[in-house]
Amino acid sequence: MTTLVTGGSGFVAGHCILALLEQGHEVRATVRSLSRVDTVRSVLTDAGMTRGDALTFVEADLTDDAGWADAVAGCDHVLHVASPVATENVTDSDAVIAAAREGTLRVLRAARDAGVTRVVLTSAFHAVGWGHPHDGRTFTDDDWTVLDGPGTDAYARSKTLAERSAWDLLDGGPTELTTLLPVAVMGPVMGNAVSGSNLLLQRILNGGMPGYPDLWIPIVDVRDVADAHVRAMTADGAAGQRFLLASDPAMSLKQVGATLRDHMGDGAGKVPTRSIPSVVVRLAALFSAEFRPVVGDLGYAKKVSDSKARRVLGWAPRPSVDAIVAAGESMVRRGLAGS
């Protein structure tokens, strides 16, 4: 079977490519420019790629129709992993949201028109767990982010609207759709790129975070996210379903830091030990935009159920500690931790 992976130079996509090749698939990956192919191959080889001769690349950009028909031609499955735009510190959130939605629809229309059997779309917990009251609920695959709820930012809105548009386009059609909703994704970096939730670990390791606000995050290992993508391509009962991907209960930032100190020795020399009282964070938020997005979540640990992924996909994620340590060790090994 030939599988297309979008955003082939990305963190999650790279791990998906490794998993697919390991399991014997032919893989085609998109990159924004073919000039990047040698670099991407080098990074994947360094990460342990097997069967590299079964990997090919095609040029396609989420902001342009060109290339997508060729990208999906002859593919049985599509893993749409690529994120269309950056959504942090944006000045025009409406434009960001529209671009995210259109990028997703561009890929899905091409897949539908080419007769692809199933698309697995990488959504996010941001499409589930934002804008709700702090009422102690356990989030499931049936929950959706409240677009106008408290704390719902441009990224959460873009992920929610992009996924809803995907369901509107493909639900009930000949091309099946499955969406995966990972919580904070951490794990071994590839090359010299640090992205996503690994940036938080990098900041802890390099001393950029002087102390820990009372924030809690659910974590999942990128290798398990990749495994879920491969399983979701063909699993009976996965078509037409959303799957939350998590591991253990949410960890506080202080627990994350303690995990790094406990397992990494000298590599964790700059990891802080002290907490920052919530009253200090709230006061800082009055004067600094950096702290405002987190104030509403101080002291609140979101609970997430991944039971459907375990039951339907046969998915068994490793502990969150493994993801944290693997990420930290890979950053230190590559000189990316600043210590």
Percent share of the chain, pLDDT over 70: 97
pTM check: above 0.85: yes
How many C-beta atoms lie closer than 10 Å to residue 38's C-beta? 10
Distance (Å, whole) CA 161 – CA 173: 19
Q: Nearest 5°: phi and psi at 266?
A: -65, -25
Question: What is the pLDDT confidence band of residue 84, given thresholds at 50, 70 and 90?
Answer: low
- Matching residue, tokens 């509403």: 296
CB under 8 A, 24+ apart: contacts of 252-256: 252/212, 252/214, 252/215, 252/216, 252/301, 253/200, 253/204, 253/209, 253/212, 253/213, 253/214, 253/215, 253/216, 253/217, 254/212, 256/200, 256/201, 256/204, 256/217, 256/219, 256/324
pLDDT digits (tens, 9 = 90+) for 156-176: 999 999 999 999 999 888 999
Query: Which amino acid belongs to residue 127?
Result: A
Tokens of 211: 């102390």
Q: Nearest 5°: phi and psi at 243?
A: -135, 115
pLDDT at 96: 77
Name the residue with higher pLDDT: 93 or 208: 208
**Lowest mean pLDDT segment, chosen from 118-122, 151-155, 202-206, 247-251:** 151-155
Distance (Å, whole) CA 184 – CA 249: 12
Tokens of 331: 């950053």
Domain residue spans in the chain?
2-192+219-247+303-318
Who contacts 162 (Cβ-Cβ below 8 Å, separation ≥6)? Answer: 84, 100, 101, 103, 104, 123, 127
Select the CATH number that applies to the domain covering 2-192+219-247+303-318 from these four: 3.10.129.10, 3.40.50.720, 3.40.50.2300, 2.40.50.180: 3.40.50.720
Distance (Å, whole) CA 237 – CA 130: 27
Distance (Å, whole) CA 219 – CA 182: 8
Percent share of the chain, pLDDT over 90: 87
- Model confidence at 92: pLDDT above 70: no
pLDDT digits (tens, 9 = 90+) for 255-304: 999 999 999 999 999 999 999 999 999 999 999 887 888 899 999 999 99
pLDDT at 94: 80
- Matching residue, tokens 């890929």: 107
Distance (Å, whole) CA 216 – CA 252: 4
Tokens of 262: 């406990």
pLDDT at 339: 52
* For range 3-7, the mean pLDDT: 97
pLDDT at 57: 98
Q: Nearest 5°: phi and psi at 178?
A: -130, 135
Distance (Å, whole) CA 172 – CA 288: 47
pLDDT digits (tens, 9 = 90+) for 44-74: 999 999 999 999 999 999 999 999 999 999 9
